[in-house]
Amino acid sequence: MFHTSDAAKRLAKLGKYFKKSQFILLILTLAAYRAPAAAGPLPPAGRRLFPNGRKHRSARTIPPLRIMICRLICVPLYAYFFEMKVTLSILLTGLLAVACGSPGAARRTCTQPAAPAEPVRYTYAVQRVYPHDPENYTQGLQYADGLLWEGTGQNGASRLLKTDLETGRSEVVARLPRSEFGEGIALLGGKVYQLTWTSNRAHVYDAATGRRTGGFTYPGQGWGLTTDGRWLYMSDGSDRIRVLDPDTFERERNIAVTLSGEPVRLLNELEWIEGKIWANVYTSDQIVIIDPASGAVEGIVDLSGLLPEEEVTPSTDVLNGIAYDPALKRIFVTGKNWSKLFHITLEKQE
């Protein structure tokens, strides 16, 4: 009978005949020889849940048949070849790896992750121009039931408005306290949610009456807000979009937004359009189109030159504000203190 101690003595004796790398391979073979037999079928790869509820990495065990091969055939053959000073150890070790390794080991391949897809780039065509109050420092925009809802910023001038696009008539729904700087808005379930920049507070209004019905607090800054009809999506000026429960404002998860694998920061006003999140990038003339599942930017809309030079005044600020009419598939955009609101269509850049 061939014992482990005998194998160790033979390996020590024969180590002088082989290079260091070969000797290490033999030690690994001996470790395989000493491995315990499996108590049952292989556990699934990756992780498994133990009875105590904690997650650990599952350890693959060696099947009994392959253990028997190692113990009864492979290791004695090793000893025989060593005493004959046959320099086939590397080849034999490779065979042992196949015989004694985990199932599927020989089939495993190393695959490189696919490179992020390049986003589609768009320019625009203006379909119609509407007047926009240049006193409105636009922070949030949403179209619903024929009305354009707008949230504005600046301390002492932050309001919630609704405008009839066809007549141009606007109505002030609510005014924020002078200490609060209004931010993004979203309509969901007969309610209007309005963020504040640094007050860590969201206001909730009844959409029909304009009466404030409640509110929530949240950590960090509030920038943009939109909804898919179930969740709220909130930006905070970083590269992250928070997915929030509208009933509690509790964060369900974060979406990390990336462009070709790199983070996209300064995400501002948001709009949900045909299953994607559109986001203004603060201080730029660009809108990014984001896959909410992966966070990858799939499209970039360049709105450079949208506001004519003759409409620019000292108080005119950056592009900000996206609204969507799902019934007619109209996209509306404007900016902070802009005198115009634009209905645009996209044109793919060649």
Could you give all domains of the chain from N- to C-terminal order, each with its CATH number?
Answer: 4-113 (no CATH), 120-348 (2.130.10.10)
Say how many C-beta atoms besides its own lie within 10 A of residue 250's C-beta: 12
- Most confident of the following: 62-76, 81-95, 227-241: 227-241
For position 281, what pLDDT does the model report? 98
CA distance 142 to 186: 7
| pLDDT tens-digit readout, 16-36 | 444 444 544 445 445 544 444
Orientation angle between helical segments 75-83 and 4-14, nearest 10 degrees: 30
222, 202 in Cβ contact below 8 A?
yes
Q: Give the residue with greater pLDDT, 83 vs 213.
A: 213
Kindly report, residue by residue over 258-292, the tens digit of the pLDDT: 999 999 999 999 999 999 999 999 999 999 999 99
Q: What is the rounded distance in angstroms from the CA atom of residue 291 to the CA atom of residue 218? A: 25
Cβ-Cβ contacts under 8 Å for 208 (sequence gap 6 or more): 190
Residue with tokens 């979009």: 241
Q: Pick 86 or 112 by higher pLDDT.
A: 112
pLDDT band at 117 (very low <50, low <70, confident <90, very high): confident
Calculate the average pLDDT of the chain.
80
The confidence score (pLDDT) of residue 33 equals 45
How confident is the model at residue 350, as a pLDDT?
79
Question: What's residue 167's pLDDT?
Answer: 85
Work out the end-to-end distance of the chain between its first and last CA atoms, rounded to an integer number of angstroms.
77
Q: Say whether 89 sits in a helix, a strand or coil.
A: helix
pLDDT value at residue 82:
46
pLDDT surpassing 60 at residue 179: yes
The predicted structure's pLDDT at residue 113: 58
Task: State residue 48's pLDDT score.
Answer: 29
pTM over 0.85: no
Instruction: State pLDDT tens for residues 35-80.
Output: 443 333 333 333 322 233 333 333 333 344 544 454 555 444 444 4
pLDDT of residue 294 exceeding 90, the answer is yes
Q: Give φ, ψ of 267 to 5 degrees.
A: -70, 130
Contact 181, 158 (CB under 8 A): yes
